[in-house]
Structure 1
């Protein structure tokens, strides 16, 4: 909240809701000023409580507290703590992480498609409308129970909690409807978590042993960790995690989880990255290998790079495709994830694993690639990496992105280098949130 509103009673406005925008909100206007409204649907008339406002601000932010004219796509929110109107009626902001829970799943996907199309047109000059595809049995599960990983805060009283959106407020929770049963079954809300700042949980979709990572507050003693450990089920691995060093200290069981995807087994250590939707790994592997296979870029003997490779989710199926006569260069900046990749791919002699920054590795190991798999973090690859990639002369790049804005920006860089968008698929891997995943095929312009 800005200094202008920190000491004031929040102001309510009545607005007509305009188009959806990237970031989980819709655009409205009040006396010429833009108001980014969360928990609305385009076409509605709503009462908004301003959460970030000031007389000199370029725009304001607000939450819906009352719907005066509802969209036919509005549904009852599945989670009271994330329902904006209900939460504000109890004098607290709603939880983050389920900001589209008031919208039907079909309309959620159409709104995400609108956001993707707008970003592509505005940032890359590409006019393209792409359906956002449902994944797995989302409809049967109402878009719930898909998260195999979840992060929690801890209230001052030691209860499991989550943050309200753009707020330091931590609200106690007694369920996480978006999480798989393996996470909710731990019933972490019944445990006294005093001395812990954060809890990270991973429960693999294959049913293998879950992992609970405890991030202790400064000065927390081993005796307190032992007390928490005694309250957790025996079949759960538990570790203490130091976010500064990035190290997990074993308290019980393993410091990693065992994941399965595309016919391979993967070890993922600590807080290492893994796709959080239970069906995401298979969907994404199928999309990217489909693009590369169909284009003739991924045959036996091909030379391929997997950049920002993590624990090797995509590296393993790429290695299968190129065979022992081909080669795959795996590049990952995180030392822990790179160590996992070495363990996961120790039986694939055609794979070379290098830990380091992508731009540095590409300079040190110049080669001509048939295809490159690019799966950068949310911020995207950036112009320097895109220019380096173009300079290596690949025949195709398969780009996996979790952010339409950074993807569209990078697509613009590829286009400046003489490349074009040859294929695009989008997936609703984060139902009830504004996030989506895209898989694109980029090729040199003919």
Structure 2
């Protein structure tokens, strides 16, 4: 019989399995209970915040018995409430297995896949000091800091373990921390980037509208504001606000997988590759190398500043198309291989169906959210493609986030 729960009730439950988003799942007399900040094996006291017919959500009140997966929090900022490293109290050696379990559940439940290929799990090193760019909030006193989980409040006196050495600065020159002398515009955001030339760029961007990201730079505090990133023989110059992979080993890892999965296919004399949601074209060198010198690469990106930067880098070697992927896939030449790296919301069934209608021989789908990745894979399956290889990459160590790459074939 299901317990009659109401908002505000205090319950005790044992967490039995993980869910997406840094959430643990417990069972209470036949009803599933989701509790954020918990791990399998935790016995917790929690307060009910939402009740539905078959499940409830709850806020963690106390850990009655800690899971064997728990360790002392490794991140000072997260230990003081920041939302930066929500897995910093999880055993590092258990993190990748937990994320693989979460992905498997999403692909089974949301992806509706009856059978999965063997999942390869890949750790990116280092697992601390890996982040090459960071976005900070600024409080009313002008101090930069890390946002608390699900809050606009900031943690300003404690540092995070994610940033690469030198990204935040040291001592009084640090842009965040109790010993920082820096003061910024209250309410603004501060972006810091450590580029491939070793230059640190720190800029202020305008206070963002509610629920939006601000990309308008109002002040360059250090560096030139022209970030230099290198991929093989290519050099990109882009603003600090532009997207680039946060972990400095991520791009080379994804490029190696693209090369591995694309090389050896039976393509035409002048094969065509699509690079969708391509940004500046950071994955283009791997795609071009795998398809050969006679290949033609078409990159689609909605942000003009990103596509323009890529066009400057590649010249006439790559065809850049500025616009939404859904508006342009029907206008591109017939593809042999498609690489797509959509934003967190996923590509969506309509875009997947229209790409599949062009009948590429191989598709490499990259996803930073396991739920939307799974729903996209379901759309691929319905469009006649099967998932033949899948890799989980721990590109965000110490957090619940991870990247997934899947190879799809007709």
With structure 1 as the length reference, what TM-score do the two structures score?
Answer: 0.81
The reply on whether 1:382 has 2:348 as its aligned counterpart is yes
The reply on whether 1:403 has 2:369 as its aligned counterpart is yes
Q: Per the alignment, do residues 200 and 250 of structure 1 end up closer, same or farther by CA in structure 2, a change over 3 Å counting?
A: closer
**TM-superposed deviation, 1:266:** 2.0
Selected match of 2:249 from 276, 279, 282: 279
Q: Per the alignment, do residues 170 and 13 of structure 1 end up closer, same or farther by CA in structure 2, a change over 3 Å counting?
A: farther
Contact 2:35 2:58 in 1 (8 A): yes
Q: How many residues align?
A: 391
**TM-superposed deviation, 1:254:** 2.8
The reply on whether 1:132 has 2:99 as its aligned counterpart is no
**TM-superposed deviation, 1:55:** 6.6
The reply on whether 1:200 has 2:187 as its aligned counterpart is no
Contact 1:266 1:312 in 2 (8 A): no
**TM-superposed deviation, 1:253:** 4.8
Contact 2:140 2:187 in 1 (8 A): no
Contact 1:367 1:392 in 2 (8 A): no
**TM-superposed deviation, 1:387:** 1.3
Selected match of 2:204 from 206, 209, 214: 214
Q: Per the alignment, do residues 76 and 310 of structure 1 end up closer, same or farther by CA in structure 2, a change over 3 Å counting?
A: same
Q: Per the alignment, do residues 376 and 345 of structure 1 end up closer, same or farther by CA in structure 2, a change over 3 Å counting?
A: same
**TM-superposed deviation, 1:438:** 1.3
Contact 2:206 2:218 in 1 (8 A): no
Contact 1:303 1:328 in 2 (8 A): yes
Matched residues in 1 for 2:394 and 2:205: separation?
A: 30
Matched residues in 1 for 2:94 and 2:373: separation?
A: 23
Q: Per the alignment, do residues 151 and 217 of structure 1 end up closer, same or farther by CA in structure 2, a change over 3 Å counting?
A: closer
Contact 2:78 2:86 in 1 (8 A): yes
CA RMSD of aligned residues (A): 2.6
Q: Per the alignment, do residues 216 and 401 of structure 1 end up closer, same or farther by CA in structure 2, a change over 3 Å counting?
A: closer
Output aligned runs, 1:407-422, within 5 Å.
Answer: 407-422=373-388
What is residue 35 of structure 1 aligned with on the other side? 33
Cα shift readout 1:316-341 (whole Å, capped 9, x = no counterpart): 33234445522000110011111111
Contact 1:160 1:173 in 2 (8 A): no
Matched residues in 2 for 1:106 and 1:295: separation?
A: 36
What is residue 76 of structure 1 aligned with on the other side? 72
Output aligned runs, 1:7-156, within 5 Å.
Answer: 13-30=11-28, 34-48=32-46, 50=47, 53=49, 59-63=56-60, 65-66=62-63, 68-83=64-79, 87=80, 94-126=81-113, 127-128=115-116, 129-136=118-125, 138=126, 143-156=127-140
Matched residues in 2 for 1:339 and 1:249: separation?
A: 21
What is residue 389 of structure 2 aligned with on the other side? 423
Which runs of 5 or more structure 1 residues have no equivalent in the other structure?
88-93, 219-241
Matched residues in 1 for 2:52 and 2:111: separation?
A: 31
The reply on whether 1:361 has 2:328 as its aligned counterpart is yes
Choose 254-263 or 408-417, whichever is displaced more.
254-263
Cα shift readout 1:234-258 (whole Å, capped 9, x = no counterpart): xxxxxxxx966x4435646533311
Cα shift readout 1:179-212 (whole Å, capped 9, x = no counterpart): 10121325102112243421111112x3431221
Cα shift readout 1:134-167 (whole Å, capped 9, x = no counterpart): 123x3xxxx2101111111112222112222112
Cα shift readout 1:359-388 (whole Å, capped 9, x = no counterpart): 21122x242111111111111111111111
**TM-superposed deviation, 1:289:** 1.6
Contact 2:138 2:186 in 1 (8 A): no
Choose 305-314 or 172-181, whichever is displaced more.
172-181
Cα shift readout 1:77-135 (whole Å, capped 9, x = no counterpart): 1124423xxx5xxxxxx211211111111211111010111111112232335242112
With structure 2 as the length reference, what TM-score do the two structures score?
Answer: 0.87
Q: Per the alignment, do residues 26 and 133 of structure 1 end up closer, same or farther by CA in structure 2, a change over 3 Å counting?
A: same
Matched residues in 1 for 2:232 and 2:59: separation?
A: 43
**TM-superposed deviation, 1:173:** 3.5
Selected match of 1:180 from 149, 158, 164: 164
Selected match of 2:278 from 309, 316, 325: 309
What is residue 319 of structure 2 aligned with on the other side? 352
Which runs of 5 or more structure 2 residues have no equivalent in the other structure?
1-5
The reply on whether 1:171 has 2:155 as its aligned counterpart is yes
Contact 2:205 2:216 in 1 (8 A): no
What is residue 328 of structure 1 aligned with on the other side? 297
